[in-house]
Amino acid sequence: MTKTLYPLLIAQFLSVFADNAILFAVIAIVIQTNHTGDWYIPALQSVFLVAFVVLAPWVGAYADNHPKSRVLIVANLVKAAGATLLLAHVEPLLAYCVVGMGGALYSPARYGILPELVDHDRLVKANSWIEGSAILAILTGMVVGAHVADKSIDLALAGTIGLFAISAATALLLPITHSKKPPSGPKVAVFCQEIRSFLTMPRARFAILGASLFWAAAAAVRVILIAWASQILLLHNASDIANLTLFLAIGIIIGAALVPKLIPLEHLLRVRIPACVMGGLIVALGFTSDVGSARVVLLLMGIAGGIFIVPVNATLQEIGKQSIGSGGAVAMQNFFQNVAMLLSVGAYTLAAARHVGPATALLALGGLLIAAMFVVVRHFPRQPPGSKGLTPGSFQNDG
């Protein structure tokens, strides 16, 4: 930990806390206003994710072309605007999309600033702190947001607006890091060229695919869990569901804390093990029928997920810093993983519309995650130890 990292930890904790408080405030709105159809909550998740996909060519470049500490401020203000729209009783799908736009801008700046604050040897540990504190914010944000929203939705939304403002103010304490000159040409064309260049690097390609699989599974679990908890565990309000997901969040914190000693950047391929374990636990959740067992499975699932995603994020940030820019690399990661999340949530939405049960959906999701990871690992190239694998065509022996 360096002193420059503390303001980032505080700022992102407050912002992520408010993100998840808003989510459960919106779920409370849906429950209390009886929006029709099982499709509505997955649709809310989808409109949030669409912003990450559509804005990817612009937000990564914006984060790299401006001081990232100041980009964090702008992103928080956009999120606050979305919360204000919800408070004004604007259609939740539209208002939550605005929150997603703020999130799409926030992510490249939050993760992209890390390689500018710490060196190579501390990057995994810094990601561990960031990921762990983010999950702690998710955990507390879900619980507090759900409990407050069950009592007063307006109070919950007003609180999130205040938290976004405090987070923006805290970001003023971060150093004004360097920015780079933007490349010439249309942003979409430049973004497509950066994708082609970035994916020629084997480690970058593996990390992008791995992160996409992880977040696709995580997004699907998140929306399936709402229906599953209602049908199988007979939990029927936002706070009960939030309390169940606490164990998933606690597990990710534990996994993020363990990973610096287990998977250094030079051994990225080791992440295949926790990824497959995570898939197996998703399958196990589909066979679970009581709250106690569900908590244990979700805790272990979170540990595996935390061990998997932290080194993947650190790898993408470092490669991005040495090539297209760390903000651009995170935006590209967001593009691919949110497309994957949209596909997974969309597939579940379609399955739910055709009356596929949540337990069956969990079994299918876990099996698909394990199969997909085997395919990704099978195409991961090899090279002699000691090579960094940061240039096109290079290979890495990471086992």
Cα distance between residue 219 and residue 307, in whole Å:
18
Residue 340 half-sphere exposure, CB side, CA atoms within 13 Å?
Answer: 22
pLDDT digit string (tens) for 218-265? 888 878 887 787 777 777 666 677 677 778 878 888 888 887 777 776
Sign of the dihedral through C-alpha 41, 46, 47, 49? positive
- Which residue is listed with tokens 């990225």? 268
**Burial readout 12-50 (b: 16 or more C-beta within 10 A, e: otherwise):** bbbbbbbbbbbbbbbbbbbeeeeeeebebbbbbbbbbbb
Q: State residue 126 phi and psi, 5-degree precision.
A: -65, -40
Cα distance between residue 203 and residue 73, in whole Å:
32
pLDDT digit string (tens) for 41-91? 777 777 887 888 888 888 887 888 888 889 999 999 999 999 999 999 898
H or E stretch at 202 = helix 202-231
Contact assessment for residue 105 and residue 75, using Cβ atoms and an 8 Å cutoff: yes
For residue 354 the two structure tokens come to: 């055709």
pLDDT digit string (tens) for 278-316? 999 999 988 888 888 888 999 999 899 888 888 888 787
Burial of residue 290, with CB atoms counted within 10 A of its CB: 0-12 exposed, 13-18 middle, 19 or more buried: exposed
Counted residue by residue, the chain has a size of 399
Cα distance between residue 261 and residue 211, in whole Å:
20
Contact assessment for residue 204 and residue 319, using Cβ atoms and an 8 Å cutoff: yes
Give 379 or 68, the one with higher predicted confidence: 68
**Residue from 134, 124, 208, 127 nearest 167 by CA:** 134
Residue-range domains of the chain with CATH:
5-178+186-378 (1.20.1250.20)
Cα distance between residue 330 and residue 99, in whole Å:
18
Contact assessment for residue 255 and residue 313, using Cβ atoms and an 8 Å cutoff: no
Q: Which residue type is seen at 360?
A: T
**Residue from 123, 75, 117 nearest 99 by CA:** 75
pLDDT value for 265 = 66
pLDDT value for 391 = 41
Residues 128, 129, 135: CA angle, nearest 5 degrees: 90
